[in-house]
């Protein structure tokens, strides 16, 4: 009850005219940041951070977090319309969002994505509001073994609950792990798989790979088809939005599952990318139309967007309550708070109560403003689909090149993007899933570091992954999910054989 009183006081701070203006500006800037491949929320916040140094800390943090909300919303736009994730966590959105756009349902896909994003983000903000002390205490228990267990859980769920060929999923994961290992070993300092190429010392950047494997490969496929694809004529009006909203109640369990998965991986080190894949995998497994995922199912858009935004928002909790950033954006925001003379942690809720609760209130308002802005501009985004692909392809190629170059201001990354475009084309032609590779690339190095740190701390004893109830429960759940696919397939075969045996 005390939290409600503090929150109401926070709304008085956040609802001031100048703070509302900063929210609107931040959301608009964030949408642009989210749409541009290669820029991303952390970079957008970092670039604009110096502009806030002369501002009031509350207004400054409201502006920066609103950029974050806008980037979360904006990442789905290019994912749906062009099959190019504007943000890493939008990769899973492309699986069904892009097919929906090709079917002339761009407005429906975007509306579903924005609405799911709003629901996921609000669930994360509610967690921060009501469960901050309990969750912060729980997150404090995580060590290297627990970190690895969470990563292991994510990988196992993708193998065990995926409906694609298991061997191809494992091959895709292995390829991602290899890419994640390129560069300097963070523990030993040795060079790995650079083959004398100095540009590879810092590793293979995730966004360069994603832009190539999703954006360039799509252009290559279109070239193979003789540029036969044309933008669909998407008629968008408030009726489309209302009709899409009318479908939302039937996916209530998808929302709940994705929110829980996102919140869990937001607080733990999994992050928004892992949450989006896990949300998609869970929805695909439990949906009655799971076999149609990848062909334009609205549930395949709702699940990853909800999970990603729940994770992205929940990642701010450890930053505020413990001073431990749960994501790259949270790390940038943490730096800003310290520059403004504020020390994140438990004392922040006591010494800077107005600031904290004003920020939390702005999280609610910022997401509401973001939803209104993106929904009101859906016709503009969907109208892009009316442009013939032959005309828009050079623009997409230029955006991809700019995005790849922006990552590290290196021409080498453009060549890498083109190489991975060919690799992505081969993956698609051979029917290898891209999602497991992307997941392993994002989390592979972090999982390896956690695994090795845990073993170093235990003197090489593998029992460290079973030494307490938390890590044991995570490992047991992971193994259960890994074996869930073969067990369920075996049970299905037994059921299908029984009628034959009876005859």
Name which of 49-53, 152-156, 374-378 the model is least confident about: 49-53
User: Do residues 435 and 277 lie in contact, with contact meaning Cβ atoms separated by under 8 Å?
Assistant: yes
Q: In whole numbers, what is the pLDDT of the chain averaged over residues?
A: 77
Q: Quick one: 4 exposed, middle or buried, by C-beta within 10 A (0-12, 13-18, 19+)?
A: exposed
User: What three-state secondary structure class fits 353?
Assistant: helix
pTM, two decimals, is 0.64
Q: Which residue has the higher pLDDT, 333 or 277?
A: 277
Displacement of CA 248 from its chain's centroid (Å): 21
The Cα–Cα gap between 389 and 82 comes to 10
Task: State percent of the chain over pLDDT 90.
Answer: 1
What's the average model confidence in pLDDT over 478-490? 76
Helix (H) or strand (E) holding 448: helix 435-458
Task: For residue 383, give both structure tokens.
Answer: 């109208």
The Cα–Cα gap between 459 and 338 comes to 37
What's the average model confidence in pLDDT over 142-160? 79
What's the average model confidence in pLDDT over 269-296? 78
CA of 359: how far to CAs of 143, 296, 328, 394, in Å? 29, 37, 19, 42
pLDDT band at 135 (very low <50, low <70, confident <90, very high): low
Residues 81-90 have pLDDT tens digits of 777 776 667 7
pLDDT band at 347 (very low <50, low <70, confident <90, very high): low
User: Do residues 14 and 362 lie in contact, with contact meaning Cβ atoms separated by under 8 Å?
Assistant: yes
What pLDDT, on a 0 to 100 scale, did the predictor assign at position 109?
85
What's the average model confidence in pLDDT over 139-156? 77
Residues 366-395 have pLDDT tens digits of 888 888 888 887 666 555 555 666 776 787
pLDDT band at 233 (very low <50, low <70, confident <90, very high): very low
The Cα–Cα gap between 118 and 206 comes to 26
Name which of 36-40, 82-86, 211-215, 484-488 the model is least confident about: 36-40
Q: What are phi and psi of 296, to 5 degrees?
A: 110, 40
What's the average model confidence in pLDDT over 397-412? 77
What pLDDT, on a 0 to 100 scale, did the predictor assign at position 62?
84
Angle (CA) 383 384 387, round 5°: 105
502, pLDDT greater than 50: no
């Amino acid at each position: 009850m005390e939290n409600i009183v503090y929150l109401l006081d926070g709304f008085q701070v956040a609802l001031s005219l100048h703070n509302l203006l900063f929210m609107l500006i931040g959301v608009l800037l964030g949408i642009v940041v989210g749409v541009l491949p290669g820029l991303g929320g952390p970079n957008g916040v970092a670039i604009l951070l110096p502009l806030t140094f002369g501002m009031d800390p509350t207004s400054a943090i409201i502006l920066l977090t609103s950029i974050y909300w806008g980037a979360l919303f904006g990442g789905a736009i290019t994912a749906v319309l062009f099959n190019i994730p504007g943000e890493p966590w939008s990769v899973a959105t492309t699986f069904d969002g892009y097919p929906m756009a090709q079917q002339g349902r761009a407005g429906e896909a975007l509306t579903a994505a924005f609405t799911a994003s709003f629901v996921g983000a609000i669930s994360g903000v509610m967690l921060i509001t009501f469960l901050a002390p309990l969750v912060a205490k729980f997150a404090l228990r995580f060590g290297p073994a627990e970190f690895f267990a969470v990563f292991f859980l994510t990988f196992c769920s993708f193998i065990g609950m995926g409906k694609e060929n298991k061997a191809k999923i494992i091959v895709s994961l292995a390829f991602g792990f290899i890419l994640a290992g390129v560069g300097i070993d963070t523990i030993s300092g040795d060079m790995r798989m650079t083959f004398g190429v100095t540009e590879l010392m810092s590793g293979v950047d995730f966004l360069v790979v994603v832009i190539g494997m999703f954006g360039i490969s799509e252009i290559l496929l279109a070239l193979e088809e003789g540029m036969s694809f044309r933008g669909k004529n998407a008629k968008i009006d408030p009726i489309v939005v209302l009709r899409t909203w009318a479908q939302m109640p039937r996916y209530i369990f998808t929302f709940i599952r994705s929110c829980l998965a996102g919140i869990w991986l937001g607080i733990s080190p999994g992050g928004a990318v892992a949450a989006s894949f896990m949300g998609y995998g869970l929805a695909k497994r439990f949906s009655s139309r799971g076999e149609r995922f990848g062909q334009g199912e609205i549930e395949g858009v709702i699940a990853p967007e909800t999970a990603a935004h729940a994770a992205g928002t929940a990642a701010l909790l450890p930053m505020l309550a413990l001073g431990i950033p749960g994501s790259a954006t949270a790390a940038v925001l943490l730096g800003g708070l310290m520059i403004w003379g504020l020390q994140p942690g438990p004392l922040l809720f006591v010494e800077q109560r107005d600031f904290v609760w004003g920020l939390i209130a702005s999280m609610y308002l910022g997401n509401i403003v973001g939803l209104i802005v993106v929904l009101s501009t859906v016709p503009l985004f969907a109208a892009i689909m009316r442009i013939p692909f032959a005309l828009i392809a050079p623009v997409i190629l230029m955006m991809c090149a700019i995005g790849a170059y922006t990552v590290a201001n290196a021409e080498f990354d453009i060549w890498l993007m083109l190489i991975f475009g060919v690799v992505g084309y081969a993956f698609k032609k051979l029917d290898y899933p891209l999602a497991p590779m992307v997941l392993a690339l994002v989390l592979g190095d972090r999982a390896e570091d956690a695994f090795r740190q845990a073993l170093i701390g235990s003197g090489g004893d593998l029992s460290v992954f079973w030494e307490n109830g938390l890590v044991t429960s995570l490992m047991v759940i992971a193994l259960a999910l890994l074996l869930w696919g073969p067990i369920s397939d075996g049970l299905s075969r037994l059921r299908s054989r029984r009628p034959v045996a009876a005859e």
